[in-house]
A and B are shown apart, each in its own frame.
Chain A
Amino acid sequence: MKLLVGYTADQRGAEAIELAAALVQGTLSPSLVIAIVLPASTPFSTVYPGGDHGFDSILSAKVDEWAAHALNQVPAGVTVRVVARSVPSVAEGLMELAEDSGAHGIVLGGRKRHRAGFFMPGGVANALLHASSVSVIMSSPQALASLRAAQGRITRMTAFVGDRPGAREVIASAARFATARGVDLRVATLVADSDVSDPATELNQHLVRTRKFLTELTDSMGLQASVEVVSGQSLDEAIESLEWIDGEFAILGSARLAATRRLFIGPKAQRILRQLNVPMAVVPN
C-alpha cells in the first residue's frame, strides 16, 4: 500500500508520518510519498523593492533540510521518497501528487479546532474532503495517542455507514483495509432521534430494521463483522455511546452529493469528524 503524506515540518507533519507509517506497515510493499508543497510564485505577486531577496534559494535549502528530517521519522522497512512541488493551491498540489505517484490515500496531520462552536477541519483538509479522488486520512494528537497506546498498530476497523445503498462500498473498503492487516471489522450506524418522525413509537423499530439490514448486508458480502446501531437524542450523544479500543481506525463514506469517484463530505460525516478521537479515513464512493 502506498500513501501520500501532506508534510509540514512541524508537529502535525510528524504526526501524519507516524499515522501513515502505521497504516502501511504490514501491507504488501509498504510505501510512503512525503509531499512538501510550496506556494507557486506568480509574477503578479512581485515583491517590491529588491527582487526576491534570495528567498527561493533559502527556501530551497530549507526544503532539503525538512526532507532529510522527514525521512528520519519513517520507520525501517517502509519505502519512502520525498517530493516537493510549487503549486498555486496546497490541496490541488496534494491531489496532483497523489495521482502522479499512484497513492491510495492522502494523510494529513491536524488539530481539533473549534470556532464559534463548530469543528473546522483545516483549510487544506476541508478542500481535500470536498474534492479528492482518493481517500483522505486524518490524524489529531488525540487520535495519535490512541494509536500509540496500541504500540502504533491498527487493531480494528470501524466503518461508519447509513442504511442507504452507499453502505456497501464503505464496508467493502473497510473490509479490504481490515483484511490487509488481519484485524477485526466493525460496522457502526448512528441514529439520532430526529432521524425518525416520532421517536417514541418508531425509534426501536427503526433500530431493529437498520441492524437487520446491515447484518444481512455484511453476511451477503461474506464478511465477519460486528454490527452496532447506536442511538441518542442527538448525533453527538449517539457517537458518545460507541466504545473504542486503542489503535482503532475509522472509515467514513463520502456524501451522496458527491460526484462519482470524488469526495464530498456531508453534514453527518462532519459531526463524526468532530467527535472522533481515533484516526480516520474518508473514502470516495
Chain B
Amino acid sequence: MSQDLRRDTVEQPDTGLHSKGLSTGTVGVLGLVVIGISCIAPAYTLTAGLGATVSEVGTQLPAILLAGFIPMLLVALGYRELNNAMPDSGTSFTWATRAFGPMIGWMGGWGLIAATVIVLSNLAAVAVDFFYILIAQLTGNQAIAELTDNLWVNIPTTLAFIAAAAYISYRGLNATKVFQYILVGFQVSVLLLFAVMAFTNSTPFDRTPITLDMFNPASVDSFSAFAAGISLSIFVFWGWDVTLTMNEETTDPNKVPGRGATWTVLLIIALYLAVSLGVLYWAGVGETGLGAGNEANQESIFAVLSGPIMGPLAILMSLAILSSSAASLQSTMVSPARTLLAMGYYKALPPSFAKISPRFMSPSVATIVSAAAAAVFYVVTRLISENALWDTITALGLMICFYYGLTALACVWYFRGELFTNVRNFFFKFLAPLVGGVVLLVMFFSTAVESMNPDYGSGSAIGNVGMVFILGVGVLLLGVAIMLFTRVRHPAFFKGETIKTR
C-alpha cells in the first residue's frame, strides 16, 4: 500500500533512562545518610545479628563490630570503582563475568542471588515474629506472641509476608522520601532509647562493666570465632556501600557521596556500639536467663530484652523492627529479581527470566522465582533446623563473604592493566579491594570448614554435618549444578557471546 505516506520516528533521547529522569541531583548529605541507614535497616540487623555474634565472640562484640567494618569498607571502595567504570550494568554478575569470564561471573551472580534470597527469608521471619509480638503487646495477651512458635501459624504467615512483598515489588511500588525519613528517624530514635534505658535501668539482669578490653579484637578466643564474628558483622553493615555508588543522584557528586558515606558509617557505628554496649552492660554474656550468651535469646535479641529493659515502651521496639524488616523485605525483593533478569537477558539463564511486565515495568518471572525461592528456603530451614533464624543468618554471612570477596577480586583483575599507573589506582583499584577480597574469602573458607562441625551455629545437623554448612555450601553447589545445566542447554552466555570479557 502507500507505505511511503508513513513517517515513523522513534524518539530515543526522550527515554530519560540514561539520565535516570527526575532523580538527578536531588540528594544531599542528609538524604544520602537516610538512604544508607534505610538500606542497612539497623533495627532488623541488630535483632537478627547481635545474638549470633555474641555467641561467637562474647564480650568482644564491640571490637568485632568495629573490625567487621574494615573489610566492608575495602570492598566497597572496589565496588565504587567498578560502578564508575560500568555504571550501566551495576551488578556482581556482570562485573565478575567481565573480569573472570562466564563461569566465575555466573557464580558471582548466584552468590548475590543466594545471599538476597536467604536474607529475604530471614527478613520475613523476623517481621512475622515481631508482628505477633506487637499484637500481643497491643492486646496484652502474651499467648499471641507465642503463636510464632507454632509452625502451622508461622509458616503460612511468613509465606504471606513474602508474597505481599513480591506483589508490591512486581507492581513497581516504591517507598517515597517522606516514608524513608520517618522510618529511619523512628528506627534510630528507638534504638538510642533502648541503649539509654539499658544503661539507666536500675535492675540490670547481669550488670557487666564496660571495659576497654571489649574493644580489643585480639582478645577473641580463637581465629575461627574471629572469622565467624567478622562474617556476621559484614551482615550488619551490608547496605552501607550503596552510599558510595550514588553519584549523579546527588547535588554535588564531588563531595556528597564521600560525606554521606562517612556520616552514615559514623552514625551507624555509634548506634551499634551504644546498643551492643547497652546489651552487654544490662544482660552480660551469661548463658542462663536473660544473658546474651543464652542460646535461647540469640536468635532475636530484642524479642527477649526489649520487654525487661524498656517496659511498656517495648512496643516501640516491636514497631521499629517490624517496619524496618517489612520495608527491607520489599526493597530487597527487587535485588535478586533484577539479577535473575540480567542473567536471563544475557542468556546465562533460560530467556523467560528476562521477561519484563509491560504494565508495571518490573521483572515478572524473575520476581516470582525470587519469592518462591525465598519461600522454599524458609520452609526447608524452618522444618529441619532447631533454630532457623540463627542458622540462616550464619549461612547468609557466609554467602555475603563469598560474593563480596569475589566481586572485590573482580575489581583488581578487571583493572589489572592500570593498577600501578598512579597512586589513586594503586589504593582504590588494587590494594583496598585485594585486601578486602582476600580477607572475605579467607573468612568464607574458614567459616565454611568450621560450619561442618555439627555443633556449629544453633547446633542443628544432618548426618553429623552442621546445618549451616549444608545450607551455605549446599546452596552454592546447587548453583554449580544449575550453571552446568544452563551451560548445556543455553551455551551462548558461556561462549562469551552475550557479555564481552575483557
Contacts and interface: CB of A to CB of B under 8 A. Distances in A.
Interface of A: 8-10, 13, 38-60, 62-64, 66-68, 71, 74, 76-88
Contact of B90 (A53, A74, A83): A53
- Among all A-B residue pairs, the 8 with the closest Cβ atoms: A45-B174, A86-B21, A51-B90, A53-B338, A9-B358, A53-B91, A86-B16, A48-B39
B257 to A, nearest CB: 11
Contacts of B89: 54, 57
B116 A49 contact: yes
A45 B175 contact: yes
Contacts of A38: 15-17, 21, 361
Contacts of B92: 50
Contacts of B180: 44
A195 B39 CA distance: 58
Given A40-B23, A80-B6, A60 B331 contact: no
Interface stretch (B58-66, B241-249, B269-277, B375-383): B241-249
Interface string B1-25: 1110111111110111110111100
B454 interface: no
A50 B90 contact: yes
B467 interface: no
Contacts of A80: 6-8
B82 to A, nearest CB: 9
Contact of A43 (B17, B27, B331): B27
A39 B21 CA distance: 9
B335 A41 contact: no
A41 B23 CA distance: 7
B97 to A, nearest CB: 11
Interface in B172-201: 172, 174-177, 179-180
A54 B35 contact: no
B300 interface: no
Contacts of A56: 17-18, 20, 88
Given A53-B342, A79-B7, A46 B14 contact: no
B35 A43 contact: yes
Nearest to B249: A43
19 contacts: A38-B21, A46-B38, A46-B242, A48-B328, A50-B90, A50-B112, A53-B338, A63-B15, A76-B6, A77-B5, A79-B6, A79-B7, A80-B7, A80-B8, A81-B7, A81-B9, A83-B14, A84-B14, A84-B16
Overall SS of chain A's interface: mixed
A6 B34 CA distance: 35
A80 B5 CA distance: 11
A60 B335 contact: no
Given A40-B22, A62-B356, A81-B11, 16 more contacts: A38-B17, A40-B16, A42-B174, A44-B175, A49-B39, A51-B245, A53-B339, A54-B90, A55-B363, A57-B17, A77-B1, A80-B6, A80-B7, A83-B14, A86-B20, A87-B21
B83 interface: yes
Interface in B219-245: 238-239, 241-242, 245
B2 A51 contact: no
Contacts of B401: none
Contacts of B238: 49
B5 A76 contact: yes
